[in-house]
Amino acid sequence: MDVIDDVDLAIEAYLDTDFPADDGEKYLRIYGVLQALFVQQDALRHLIGIVRPPAPLEFSDVLKDGRETRNASVGHPTKFERKGLTSVHSMSRSTLGRDGFLMASFEEKNDTFFQHVPIGELIVKQREEAVRLLSKVVTQLKEADELHRKQFRTVILRNSFSQVLYAFEKISDEVRRSSPPGMGPWAGEQLQNSLGEFERLLKERGLDVETYDPVKYLYNEIQFSLAQLRAFLVGESSEIMSREAARVFASALAGYFSELMDIAREIDEEYSSIKDDRADPATESSVK
């Protein structure tokens, strides 16, 4: 996407600035803009190949014209090989202009011929084609995303944390009294199980904790705090050296879990907001 945008900036500069009078500068401008169009085509092809692998980019005649022109005039002018034929090409210096130039071509099995290379027209057509291709990709991605959300909208992520509040009640009881372990170890295990269930439901959707930066951050904080607290609750070695410190860890951990549960709720709301056309009488009526 950056390259596609960068090339468009280069094209804007080509179109908006005065075309030079110096022949050397003319060549540089034309070399540059034709190479830029070529690079943008590659970027479009690679972008679509990444985001929509089942639907690779097939170059239209519009893009092929620009690609062939660049290859012949700028890419490989002194030896251009295509379909078993070798040719050489030369730009007519006296015809160099912003909108194009005259190119002489010499093919080994054909006579010399001349053709006008319409740079301005190539730019307009490539921009139109780029918009068409990217719009098509966006539409396909939106359709795929909607289907994905409909598939999982009834799978509630926040249900993973149904026992979390009760677990923290038991942990709070445990760290406030000096007595043998009671429900604290169970509560610590329950919190770990909640995290595992949350991860499992994310993976069912093709996601993971790395997908959302806030979730990734919270997981790092939770895993350390929870590991230390669970060790303390069963009397194992831990960074927690006292019940007072355990209460601080438990309080911080409860805050992290609360934030994670809020994120899970937001994701659930995002998924449930997708309208099911099958259940919408107005949509059914309009279709009929």
DSSP 264-281: HHHHHHHHHTS--GGG-H
Q: Provide the 10 A C-beta neighbour count for residue 9.
A: 10
Per-residue confidence (pLDDT) for residue 166, from 0 to 100 = 94
Q: Beginning with the edge strand found earlier in the chain, give each strand of the sheet holding 101-107 in spatial order.
A: 80-82, 85-91, 101-107, 113-117
pTM flag (> 0.85): no
Paired tokens of 155: 């799978």
Q: Return left, alpha or beta for 57; rule: phi > 0 is left, psi -120 to 50 is alpha, else beta.
A: beta
Residue 79 phi, psi dihedral angles, 5° rounding: -165, 95
What is the CATH number assigned to the segment(s) 153-279?
1.20.120
Question: Residue 288 has what pLDDT?
Answer: 33
Q: What is the pLDDT of residue 180?
A: 58
Cα 40 from chain centroid?
18
d(CA 60, CA 11): 20
- How far is 196 from 183, CA to CA, in rounded Å? 20
Two tokens at 178? 């000096």
Residues in Cβ contact with 124 at an 8 Å cutoff, skipping those fewer than 6 apart: none
The reported pLDDT for the residue numbered 48 is: 86
Positive or negative torsion for Cα 46, 48, 52, 58: negative
Cite the DSSP H helix spans in 164-183.
Answer: 164-175
Instruction: Say what the pLDDT of residue 116 is.
Output: 93
Spatial neighbors of 190 by CB under 8 A, at least 6 apart, are: 163, 164, 166, 167
> Which residues lie across from 86 on neighbouring strands?
81
In this prediction, residue 40 carries a pLDDT of 93
Q: Token pair of 262, please?
A: 């809020």
pLDDT along the chain (288 residues), means of 10: 94 95 95 93 88 67 81 86 85 94 86 88 91 87 88 92 94 78 88 95 91 92 93 90 92 95 93 59 39
Contact indicator for 246, 175 with CB cutoff of 8 Å: yes
* Residue 162 CA, distance from chain mean position: 33
Task: Report the distance separating Cα 266 and Cα 98, nearest Å.
Answer: 53
pLDDT for the residue 179? 55
Task: Provide the 3-class DSSP secondary structure of residue 80.
Answer: strand
Instruction: Report the amino acid identity of residue 74.
Output: V
- Residues β-bridged to residue 117: 101
- List the domain boundaries for the chain: 2-143, 153-279
Tokens (6 digits) for 251: 């309080």
